[in-house]
Amino acid sequence: MEAKPLTRVEGEGTLKLILKDDLVQDVVLNIFEPPRFFESILKGKRFEVIPDITARICGICPVAYQMSGIQAVESVFNVKVSKEVEDLRRLFYYGEWIHSHAIHVFFMHLPDFLGLSSFFEFLKLNPDLSKKALFIKQTGRKILEVIGGRDVHPVTVCVGGFTHFPKDEEIKSLIPSLEKSYDYSLEILDFLSTLNFPQHLLPEDILFVSLKEEDHYPILKGKIYLSTGVGLDKDEFLKYFYEFEKPHSTAKYSKTKDGKTYIVGPIARFNNSFDNLTENSKKIALKYGVKPVERNMSKTIIVRVIEILDSIERSIELINLYQKNSLKNEKYEVSEGEGTGVSEAPRGILWHYYKINSNGLIEKANIIPPTSQNQSVMEELLRKNLTNKELKDESTLISYGEYIVRDFDPCISCATHFLKIDKLNLDNR
């Protein structure tokens, strides 16, 4: 049976409830969207196309694909970019976090807390706060446009740096919007603090996996850090984690090699690197009731706003240091080899691998996005919260399942379509 379509997730999938005697017996997260074959598209093409082609995987987080991809190529050619170029890439990435988090918090997640069907109902309910939410989103887009040449699928990232460096005045012009967005984000936190947060608790033994940078809240690089204290080099990713398929899903699942379920994304970054937030961000997080170890997925809406605030504060710091004249691209020579790259997409760790031959042609490619890494724990949390629930009120039960799915901000196919609910009644077999 098909229930109402849902438009507040990215991609196409179904949540299948398996029933017996009007009790939920099992829950299956069925991703049916056709595979997109990006790794195959890359094979045989020159390495320069990686940032342009992989950016098309996602219209909301293209910078993440560009950063992980270019990092992998630079690893093959042994290129180390200057601190100034790295800072510009970091600023670029903050723009994406602000934009992506704003989309999820306001358009996809917030309506669940208020019992609304969409952001447009919230717009009618609270037009002032809605306009401020849209302003924050637009601030992130401005950063992408100034640095990336355009806000959707930016075009300036290249091996060794950028094809174009913005003028000083273009970068400085971003500060007023960022300052206003910071104040608006605080107002929104005040509003969010009035909401009720259901207990969508992760298992106590869940493994939080994120990057860990020495001097920054993780975004651009770093060791792959496990909440058990293990730190892995990016080249060791496949030694510790593996992907596997299930018959009902065209998206892969991931676990650790010893079979443990893990989670990536804002809640993992927050729990693993709370101390690397800015001092202001740490105080604000504690004020609004989130601190490590946070296991309630419904509170990720607060964590994402904390990450917006942290990104804004650090963006202003980087903009104040920016000088176009200090930037230059690193030279490199094409050589054969294998390389990996990893960065923190808004939804979590995004890992790339490439094998490139001496002519600069891509022979192998492997891309592991955050949503496939979270699919196992997402399904487990759905099963934990829905199994043995009675089907007295179908719409309430379905909405509850969708609510849990949206806690994770899944990017099912990096293109927003719909998610529909199916029920399979064992009594009618």
Instruction: Give pLDDT tens digits for 265-299.
Output: 999 999 999 999 999 999 999 999 999 999 999 99
DSSP β-bridge partners for residue 340: 353
Between 391 and 40, the higher pLDDT residue: 40
| Pick from 300-309, 333-342, 391-400: least confident | 391-400
The letter for the amino acid at 130 is S
Spatial distance between the Cα atoms of 215 and 277, rounded to a whole number of angstroms: 9
Contact 187, 129 (CB under 8 A): yes
Which H/E stretch holds residue 157?
strand 157-158
pLDDT, position 3: 42
Burial 153-184 (b: 16+ CB within 10 A, else e): bbbbbbbbbbeebbeeeebeebeebbeebbeb
pTM of the predicted structure, to 2 decimals: 0.93
Contact 416, 11 (CB under 8 A): yes
The letter for the amino acid at 244 is F
The model's pLDDT over 193-245, given as tens digits with 9 standing for 90+, comes to 999 999 999 999 999 999 999 989 999 999 999 999 999 999 999 999 998 88
Q: Which positions ≥6 away from 378 have C-beta within 8 Å? A: 29, 404, 405, 408, 410
DSSP β-bridge partners for residue 28: 16
Say whether 417 counts as a known binding-site residue: yes
Q: pLDDT band at residue 32, thresholds of 50, 70 and 90?
A: low
Say whether 158 counts as a known binding-site residue: no
Say whether 414 counts as a known binding-site residue: yes
Fold classification of 2-414 (topology level): Cytochrome-c3 Hydrogenase; chain B (1.10.645)
Which H/E stretch holds residue 211?
strand 207-212
Between 78 and 425, the higher pLDDT residue: 78
pLDDT > 90? residue 150: yes
Both ends of the chain: CA-CA distance in Å?
13
How do 262-263 and 207-212 pair as beta strands? parallel
**What is the rounded radius of gyration, in angstroms, for the C-alpha atoms of the chain?**
21
DSSP β-bridge partners for residue 231: 225
Say whether 61 counts as a known binding-site residue: yes
Say whether 153 counts as a known binding-site residue: no
